[in-house]
Amino acid sequence: MSVEVEATFGTNLVWREKGEQWHEDCVGTKKKQGTSVMCWGIISWNWKGPFHVWSAETKEEKEQARKEIAEWNAKSGEEEEGLNREWRTSEKFRLLKEGELKAARELRAAALDRGGEKIKTTQSWRGKKYKIKKQKRKDAKGVDSWRYVISFCCPLLWPTCRERLALNPGFLLMEDNAPSHNSDFTNLERRKEGVQKNTWPANSPDFNPIEHIW
């Protein structure tokens, strides 16, 4: 979230009598060019977690991130292959393959009975379940997924989530759909940490209990 210091958001409207526009109780304070501070916090029932204030990223940090991203991209291909290799040895993969092959045989048999027409069958088991996208950084303002994961999630958020999970096996992380929260990179790294996340219905705030608190 963003906190603006020494400024007001929007226009404050009040009921007043005609001729009272300059009365001291009807004149609102106006300040311009307030300082914006990016911050992050975590709360749960009867518990308040750490509070983090984002500082501007320095040139040195950006250069370090560029090098780390290049290294991560170089290793991502091996990681992707390893994840898919593990998936192909799983019970879910075996059931998926057997189910699709069985359905294909039944469809081919039915097609032969109708004169041998050509049919296409689903063979998703031949594809890749995991596809890791290469990381790219843009010069846009704000916090991107790389900085969110490396500078915040790894040292602060996910360790806190594991602490809560130890106390409550049903713990679920709830975030909004900010790009840095829900990117492929963030979701991949979060799954590695064993942190489960609750789905945020983007266009249905009534389904999300945190909205009633905010």
Give per-residue pLDDT as tens, 22-48: 887 777 666 556 677 888 888 888 889
pLDDT digits (tens, 9 = 90+) for 64-117: 999 999 999 988 888 889 989 999 999 999 999 999 999 988 888 888 777 767
Kindly state whether residue 186 falls inside one of the protein's structural domains. yes
CATH number, position 176: 3.30.420.10
Q: Cα(177)–Cα(202) distance, rounded to whole angstroms?
A: 7
- Indicate the number of domains in the chain: 1
Q: Does residue 171 lie within any of the structural domains?
A: yes
**Residue 84 domain flag:** no
Residue 167 resides in a domain: yes
Helix (H) or strand (E) holding 43: strand 35-44
Residue 120: C-alpha distances to residues 21, 94, 105, 117 (Å): 74, 21, 11, 10
Reported as a single tens digit per residue, the pLDDT across 143-185 is 899 999 999 999 999 999 999 999 999 899 988 888 889 888 9
CB atoms within 10 A of CB 189: 19
d(CA 96, CA 125): 7
pTM: 0.66
3-state secondary structure (DSSP) of residue 155: helix
**Does residue 96 fall inside a structural domain?**
no
Domain extent, residue 178, equals 2-54+143-213
Asked whether residue 17 is domain-assigned, the answer is yes
User: What is the Cα–Cα distance from 85 to 143, expressed in whole angstroms?
Assistant: 33
120 lies in a domain? no
Q: Is 187 a member of any domain?
A: yes
